[in-house]
């Protein structure tokens, strides 16, 4: 028999399947916690840290990613406090400065309240969310993509740098990539410190209805569960 | 040697060894630790052995090559027993004189004695040296009496007695409550109560459990764990065996940094010897307890010292941390309950079991018990490994043991806890070293690195150095650590190169807070500490860099310039010849001039000038 746990997310009582993550539980009940590296069918890695929440445990609050946090009975979660919003905005700002030419990343940044980018743009494109790698290893079982290197030099690569033949050509890596699916029409110029014009309407919406779900490109492309609720 | 089949076997072996040892008349102890090896102690050991054989004194004199004694700066170190005569900076060519004079006739060779830099007097024994006198060497004092490659030495000094006591009749629960009562906290950095960790792991469901020793020490300037594992590997093995008994593990791993070849070698030899004696393997000492240890070499990354990354690396995967919302005591190595402790933590276990929790808890402060080893480095007179009781003020460590400033410049700060620790200014030197006080002050105990800095160190440059290190060593998995630390480095580089602004300092602070709050593992969470602590204690240095575009310590190259004082320069030309960039002009016997445009601010000319005519501004 299916077992359930009940927890509180942003003061709402939420019922979740035992073993589900807090992010799963929140999304299933229509509470959207912004996220990027997480894909519902795959194992969560906790790499992008956008889905951070506050967990109250014995009167102490701890900040952790909700995608890797197992939902447990009686848990108390806050996903939208002032502190969380500020931290999330800072992370989104780092992301968008790294890959300003992705609509998906821009949308997420807007969703998290970024209006200005205080860092010089880098146009690295790949933000190493790891969606392609997890899909390739976990779902397609091709093991054709993986991370190579450490720190700044970490990048996605074929095994040994040349074993392209392992690729099963399922194409999901491109489909799951926030860069390749949705390149931005108006690339941002370095130093302008403002997201491109396409996002203006969304920024306006965010200002009026904070906490609203921006119908981001990421969600559209990947059939986000949010679609049903917006 | 035969396999030990019972507790009595171990006892009688120890008695036999002690009786044998009484017969040897003199012992020459030579340090063979990594520090002394670098100052050519293997040559000294070979020369002494040759000399002893040459004079046919093998039966009378015992030569023991041990691990680190701690005072690495004075290496190679030699101690001659009985009498505990302490010789330093010994060279191979001294061997003949030492054997002929000191060993045969008991004469003291004045030249090889240690000179106290404060009083200028010659000192004869270790106990009289201020560096050793002010310490409390509970763990390190064994190093002198043990050859790391000889299990007999360890047994002779009472080794494996704690294991025997445990097997003979301490229930696992009792072991855990003893460790809990002792108040031992993890020596790897975070200071988690060891007893609680063991208890949680013992309670965790599952028959297969593991104990792991974390010897992947990678902090710049820290080498406590290296020294312990190199010098006394059996002590760590014994600690792990007791831990395994307590939690019910059958397998243990020692994860040693691959860049520590001597530690790997000694750990392997120790495991091999313990297996031969039946101290590892099936039915240890005739009991029902079975346990074995494997030595694994590290993956070559700083982050592999983080518990979950270490476990991933042990499993043969990429050494990247994973979320720790379920603790490793429940879901650790191969998803089995695992106890992971630092080398120093394991090393403390046998003595707690042998002497009791009360004995251990007698030293230290309210919440930090026992002693802690620090690697004292930087601008102090005496550098090396220092063991003090918890609660010892920083002042005592830096000034009494370290002997104060090395080159006359005033000491400005101390960096504790390695790259993820923080800087404390002189005003905080009265603070006692314990986990909580250091944390509150914005630094941390860390694994125990202690880098002393004087007026010649720029705090912005220091923070930049550590950020650069962490940016290199970040695994790159999570965004705040990979991108955030990199952006912090970008900002601090701007500040150090004179492009900084006040807003950037505010941004740096905000970013540091974000990185420490949201990173996946402890590396990222503590990465901003050097920045945060220097911003907190040395805001005036940041202000000087940003507002006046000046580096007060004269370190940041973009903000300084070298010039030659015309009244002091006599035109000797040594700076001109030394300058690798041809940036100095001048005719013989005439005042020389530095060409600002060509000068790359390497500072070589300053060292070459004998008349102190070149100044930094």
- Render pLDDT for B578-609 as a digit per residue (tens, 0 to 9): 899 888 988 888 889 898 888 888 888 888 88
Q: In terms of Cα–Cα distance, which of B224, B202, B200 is closest to B214? A: B224
For A97, the closest chain B residue by CA position comes to: B483
d(CA A122, CA B51): 66
Nearest by CB to B472, which of A95, A127, A151?
A: A151
Cβ contact A90–B478 (<8 Å):
no
- Give contacts of A97 with chain B, Cβ < 8 Å: 487
**CA dihedral in degrees (B573, B579, B585, B588; nearest 10)?**
10
What pLDDT score does A213 carry? Answer: 56
Report how far apart the first and last C-alpha atoms of chain A are (Å, whole number).
32
3-state SS, residue A77: strand
Token digits of residue B94:
């001294």
Q: Of the candidates B323, B475, B484, which has its C-beta nearest A94's C-beta?
A: B484
H/E segment holding residue B38: helix B34-38
Tell if the CB–CB gap between A68 and B480 is shorter than 8 Å.
Answer: no
Bridge-based pairing of strands B210-215 and B251-256 is parallel
User: What's the gap in Å between the CA of B520 and the closest CA on chain A?
Assistant: 7
B467's CB contacts (< 8 A; 6+ apart) are B485, B488, B489, B492, B527, B530, B531
Nearest CA in chain A to B484: A94
| DSSP structural state of residue A189 | P
CA-nearest residue to B481 within chain A is: A151
Residue A197 pLDDT greater than 50, yes or no:
no
- Mind spelling out the 3-state secondary structure of B443-501? CCCCCCEEEEEECCCCHHHHHHHHHHHHHHHCCCCCHHHHHHHHHHHHHHHHHHCCCCC
Nearest to B325 among A45, A52, A69 (CB): A69
Give the nearest partner residue to A64 out of B325, B473, B484, using CB atoms.
B325
The pTM of the full predicted model, rounded to 2 decimals, is: 0.89
Q: Which domains does chain A have, with CATH numbers?
A: 4-80 (3.10.20.740), 84-123+181-220 (no CATH), 131-176 (no CATH)
pLDDT of residue B240: 95
Residue A64, helix vs strand vs coil: strand
Mutate to test the interface with B, among A46, A48, A128, A156 (most CBs of B within 10 A): A46
Angle at B93 between CA B89 and CA B97, to 5 degrees: 90
| Distance separating alpha carbons of residues A167 and A153, to the nearest angstrom | 23
Two tokens, residue B12: 């009688």
CA–CA separation, B53 and B66 (whole Å): 20
Backbone angles phi, psi at A136, to 5 degrees: -65, -40
Query: How do strand B422-425 and strand B411-416 relate by DSSP bridges?
Result: antiparallel
Partner residues linked to A156 by β-bridges: A147
pLDDT confidence of residue A230: 36
Distance CA B583, CA B597 (A): 8
Optimal mutation site among A46, A119, A150, interface B, most CBs of chain B within 10 A: A150
- The predicted pLDDT at position B540 comes to 93
| A62 to chain B: closest CA residue | B517
B520 to A65: CB separation less than 8 angstroms, yes or no: yes
CB within 8 Å: A70 and B318: no
Q: Tell me, what's the pLDDT at A41?
A: 79
The residues of A whose Cβ lies within 8 A of any Cβ of B are 44-50, 52, 63-65, 68-70, 86-87, 90-91, 94-95, 97-98, 118-120, 127-128, 130, 147, 149-154
Distance from CA of A109 to the nearest CA of B (A): 14
Distance from the Cα of A157 to chain B's closest Cα (Å) equals: 14
Which of A36, A43, A91 has the highest number of chain B CBs within 10 A, making it the mutation to test binding with B?
A91
Q: In what order do the strands lie in the sheet with A76-78?
A: A12-17, A4-9, A76-78, A52-57, A60-65
A107 CA: distance to closest CA in chain B (Å): 17
What pLDDT is recorded for position A202? 58
pLDDT value at position A180? 64
ipTM: 0.88
Concatenated DSSP letters of B512-547: HHHHHHH-SSHHHHHTTHHHHHHHHH-HHHHHHHHH
pLDDT at residue number B100: 86
- By C-alpha distance, the chain B residue nearest A22 is B325
Cβ partners under 8 Å of residue B500, min gap 6: B491, B494, B542, B545, B546
Domains of chain B, first to last = 20-132 (3.40.30.10), 151-361 (3.40.50.11540), 371-454 (3.10.20.600), 459-547 (1.20.1440.230), 561-616 (3.30.70.20)
pLDDT less than 70: residues of chain B? 1, 24
Cβ-Cβ contacts under 8 Å, A70 against chain B: 325-326
B513-544 burial string, b = 16+ CB within 10 Å, else e?
bbbbbbbbbbbbbbbbbbbbbbbebbeebbeb
Mean pLDDT over residues A62-74, rounded? Answer: 92
As a whole number, the mean pLDDT across chain A is 79
3-state secondary structure of B593: strand
Cross-chain residue pair B518–A87, CB shorter than 8 Å: yes
Residues in chain B: 617
- pLDDT over 50 (residue A193): no
CB-CB neighbors (< 8 A) of A46 in chain B: 322-323, 478, 520
Is A68 in contact with B507 (Cβ distance < 8 A)? Answer: no
**Residue B479: which of A91, A119, A147 has the nearest Cβ?**
A91
- Which one of B474, B483, B514 has the shortest CB-CB distance to A87? B514
Give the pLDDT confidence score for residue B61 in this predicted structure: 86
**Residue A218 predicted with pLDDT over 70:** no
Of A52, A94, A149, which has the smallest distance from its Cβ to B487's Cβ? A94
Contact B262, B305 (CB under 8 A): no
Smallest Cα–Cα separation from B450: which of B132, B225, B220, B134?
A: B220
Q: Looking at beta carbons, which residues of chain A come within 8 Å of B500?
A: none
What pLDDT, on a 0 to 100 scale, did the predictor assign at position A211? 52
d(CA B613, CA B230): 47
Beta-carbon separation of B325 and A70 below 8 A: yes
Contact A151 B487 (CB under 8 A): no
Q: In chain A, what residues touch B323 (CB-CB under 8 Å)? A: 44, 46, 64-65, 68-69
**Interhelix angle B343-355/B233-247, nearest 10 degrees:** 70
Question: Measured between beta carbons, which residues in chain B are less than 8 angstroms from residue A150?
Answer: 301, 303, 472-476
Q: Are strands B384-389 and B371-378 parallel, antiparallel or unpaired?
A: antiparallel
- Flag if B475 and A68 touch (Cβ within 8 Å): no
**Pairing relation of β-strands B411-416 and B384-389?**
unpaired
Q: Do A150 and B476 touch (CB under 8 A)?
A: yes
Q: Do A152 and B471 touch (CB under 8 A)?
A: yes
Which residues of A fall within a CB distance of 8 Å from B507? 118
Which residues of B touch chain A, with CB atoms under 8 Å apart?
A: 301, 303, 318, 322-323, 325-326, 471-480, 482-484, 486-487, 490, 503, 507, 510-511, 513-514, 517-520
Strands (E), B221-347: 251-256, 292-297, 338-342
Two structure tokens written together for B7: 């507790």
Beta strands in B136-240 (DSSP E): 210-215
Q: Under an 8 A CB cutoff, do B477 and A118 touch? A: no
Q: Residue A90 and residue B511: Cβ atoms within 8 Å?
A: yes
Alpha helices in B39-193 (DSSP H): 41-54, 95-97, 104-105, 130-133, 151-156, 161-169, 172-182
Q: What mean pLDDT comes out for the span A9-38?
A: 87
d(CA B223, CA B505): 34
Percent of residues in chain B assigned helix, strand, coil, to nearest 5: 45, 15, 40
d(Cα B143, Cα B33) in Å, to the nearest integer? 10
B473: nearest CA in chain A? Answer: A151
- Measured between alpha carbons, how far is B527 from B520 in angstroms, rounded to an integer? 12
Say if the Cβ atoms of B519 and A147 lie within 8 Å.
Answer: no
Give the phi and the psi of residue A160 in degrees, each rounded to 5.
60, 5
Res. A228 pLDDT band, cuts 50 70 90: very low
């Amino acid at each position: 028999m299916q077992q359930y746990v009940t927890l509180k997310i942003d003061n709402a009582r939420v019922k979740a399947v035992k073993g589900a993550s807090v992010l799963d539980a929140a999304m299933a009940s229509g509470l959207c916690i912004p996220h990027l590296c997480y894909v519902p069918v795959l194992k969560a890695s906790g790499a992008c840290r956008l889905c951070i929440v506050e967990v109250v445990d014995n009167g102490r609050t701890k900040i952790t990613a909700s995608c890797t946090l197992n939902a447990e009975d009686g848990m108390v979660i806050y996903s939208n406090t002032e502190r969380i919003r500020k931290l999330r905005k800072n992370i989104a700002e780092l992301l968008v400065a790294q890959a300003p030419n992705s609509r998906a990343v821009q949308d997420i940044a807007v969703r998290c309240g970024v209006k200005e980018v205080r860092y010089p743009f880098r146009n690295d494109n790949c933000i190493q969310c790891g969606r392609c790698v997890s899909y390739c290893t976990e779902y397609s079982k091709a093991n054709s993509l993986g991370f190579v290197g450490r720190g700044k030099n970490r990048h996605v690569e074929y095994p040994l740098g040349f074993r392209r033949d392992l690729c099963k050509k399922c194409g999901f890596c491109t489909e799951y990539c926030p860069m390749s699916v949705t390149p931005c029409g108006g690339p941002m110029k370095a130093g302008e410190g403002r997201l491109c014009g396409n996002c203006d309407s969304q920024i306006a919406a965010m200002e009026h209805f904070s906490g609203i779900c921006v119908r981001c490109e990421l969600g559209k492309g990947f059939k986000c569960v949010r679609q049903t609720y917006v | 040697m035969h396999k030990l089949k019972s507790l009595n076997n171990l006892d009688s072996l120890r008695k036999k060894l002690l009786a044998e040892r009484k017969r040897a008349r003199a012992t020459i102890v030579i340090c063979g630790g990594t520090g002394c090896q670098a100052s050519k102690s293997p040559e000294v050991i070979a020369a002494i052995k040759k000399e002893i054989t040459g004079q046919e004194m093998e039966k009378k004199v015992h030569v023991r090559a041990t691990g680190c004694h701690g005072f690495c700066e004075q290496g190679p170190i030699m101690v001659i027993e009985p009498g505990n005569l302490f010789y330093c900076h010994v060279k191979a060519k001294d061997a003949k004189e030492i054997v002929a004079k000191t060993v045969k006739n008991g004469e003291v060779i004045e030249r090889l004695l240690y000179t106290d830099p404060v009083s200028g007097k010659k000192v004869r024994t270790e106990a009289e040296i201020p560096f050793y006198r002010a310490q409390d060497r509970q763990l390190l004092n064994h190093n002198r009496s043990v050859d790391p490659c000889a299990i007999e030495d360890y047994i002779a000094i009472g080794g494996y007695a704690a294991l025997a006591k445990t097997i003979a009749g301490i229930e696992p629960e009792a072991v855990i409550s003893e460790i809990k009562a002792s108040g031992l906290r993890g020596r790897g950095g975070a200071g988690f109560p060891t007893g609680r960790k063991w208890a949680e792991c013992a309670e965790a469901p599952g028959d297969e459990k593991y104990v792991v020793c974390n010897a992947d020490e990678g902090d710049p300037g820290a080498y406590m764990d290296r020294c312990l594992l190199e010098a006394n590997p059996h002590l760590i093995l014994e600690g792990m065996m007791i831990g395994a008994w307590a939690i019910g593990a059958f397998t243990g791993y020692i994860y040693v940094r691959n860049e520590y070849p001597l530690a790997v070698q000694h750990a392997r030899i120790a495991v091999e010897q313990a297996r031969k004696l039946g101290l590892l393997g099936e039915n240890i000492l005739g009991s029902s307890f079975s346990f074995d240890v494997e030595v694994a070499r590290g993956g070559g990354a700083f982050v592999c010292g983080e518990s979950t990354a270490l476990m991933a690396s042990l499993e043969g995967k990429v050494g990247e941390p994973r979320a720790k919302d379920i603790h490793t005591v429940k879901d650790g190595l191969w998803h089995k309950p695992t106890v992971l402790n630092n080398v120093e933590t394991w090393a403390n276990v046998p003595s707690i079991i042998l002497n009791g929790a009360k004995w251990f808890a007698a030293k230290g402060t309210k919440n930090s018990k026992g002693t802690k080893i620090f690697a004292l480095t930087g601008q102090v007179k005496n550098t090396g490994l220092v063991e003090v009781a918890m609660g010892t003020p920083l002042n005592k460590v830096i000034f009494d043991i370290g002997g104060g400033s090395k080159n006359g410049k005033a000491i400005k700060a101390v960096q504790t806890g390695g790259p993820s620790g923080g800087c404390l200014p002189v005003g905080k030197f009265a603070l006692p070293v314990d986990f909580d006080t250091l944390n509150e002050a914005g630094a941390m105990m860390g694994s125990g690195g202690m880098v002393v800095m004087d007026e010649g160190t720029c705090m912005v440059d220091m923070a930049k150095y550590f950020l650069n290190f962490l940016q290199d060593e970040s695994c790159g998995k999570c965004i705040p650590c990979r991108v955030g630390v990199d952006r912090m480095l970008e900002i601090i580089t701007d500040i150090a190169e004179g492009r900084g602004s006040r807003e950037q300092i505010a941004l740096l602070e905000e970013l540091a807070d974000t990185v420490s709050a949201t990173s996946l593992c402890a590396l990222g969470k503590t990465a901003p500490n050097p920045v945060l602590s220097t911003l907190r204690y040395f805001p005036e240095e940041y202000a000087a860099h940003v507002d006046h575009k000046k580096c007060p310590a004269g370190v940041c190259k973009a903000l300084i310039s070298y010039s030659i004082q015309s009244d002091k320069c006599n035109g000797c030309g040594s700076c001109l010849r030394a300058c690798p960039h041809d940036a100095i002009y001048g005719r013989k016997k005439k005042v020389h001039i530095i060409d600002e445009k060509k000068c790359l601010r390497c500072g070589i000319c300053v060292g070459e000038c004998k008349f102190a005519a070149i100044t930094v501004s």
